[in-house]
A = this chain, B = another copy of it.
Amino acid sequence: MEKSPVRKRNTRGEGDRLRRELVSAARALLEETGNEDAVTLRAVARRAGVTAPSIYAHFGDAGAILLEVVQEAFGELAGALRAAGSGAATAAERLDALCAAYVQFAAGSPHRYRIMFGRHGSARTGAVAAPRPLHELAGAEAIGMLIEALSDCAADGSSASADPRADAVALWTGLHGYASARNALPAFPWPEGLLPAMVGRLAVLRGPAG
């Protein structure tokens, strides 16, 4: 048994402490192993310094923990985009900052990112949850920020977009492809300046990158 030596038992009020620790253990396991199927109920319990049956007080199965890891990740992504966009002077700068933050999040948490748009759930239980529609998740927040920024760009003339919502979806799709492909194929000979070129064209920017 490789459980952490001391784990202070929860006092009455803080029943959520273990729950948070389990989610955090699952996230760490996922990023370290790179394998969502290594995130078993028993492995999570081990990592959190707790016996396996303790989990049932908080989660129905390992898939439920992974689902919470995904929801947490969507929340973090939205937070990162909000923070990145808040310091921009112009709409075009804000759009660029959002795109950079998006790509940076995916590069920094590759396996979580992969799982956000993949299957969640464990192979063992057979309860493989179908991916939830993005607009039901916090991912809608990220897309919403892109739409808003691109609308502002269209309004101030830095983008020629005639349909900012549709073009923001195109932009997001491109960002997703970029993030996913760079994570999957790090050794591919990626051309210089790929990201700004894609952003400039998909967002129909009028600047030097467009």
- Spell out A's residues near B (CB within 8 Å): 33-35, 37-38, 114, 117-119, 123, 128, 131, 133-135, 163, 165-167, 169-170, 173-178, 180-181, 184-185, 187-194, 197-198, 201-202, 204
Contacts and interface: CB of A to CB of B under 8 A. Distances in A.
A118 B37 CA distance: 14
By CB atoms of chain B within 10 A, which of A135, A165, A181 has the most? A181
For this chain, the copies found in one complex come to 2
B185 A202 contact: no
Contact of A184 (B118, B128, B170, B204): B118
12 contacts: A34-B128, A37-B37, A117-B184, A117-B185, A131-B184, A165-B191, A166-B191, A170-B194, A173-B181, A173-B194, A177-B178, A201-B202
A179 to B, nearest CB: 8
A201 B205 CA distance: 11
Q: Nearest 7 CB-CB pairs, A to B?
A: A177-B177, A37-B123, A166-B191, A133-B187, A117-B184, A201-B201, A176-B177
Contact of A201 (B33, B176, B204): B204
Nearest to A116: B184
Contacts of A37: 37, 123
Nearest to A163: B191
A173 to B, nearest CB: 5
Nearest to A189: B135
A88 to B, nearest CB: 23
A193 B35 CA distance: 35
Given A117-B181, A166-B192, A174-B202, 6 more contacts: A35-B123, A117-B185, A123-B123, A166-B191, A166-B197, A173-B177
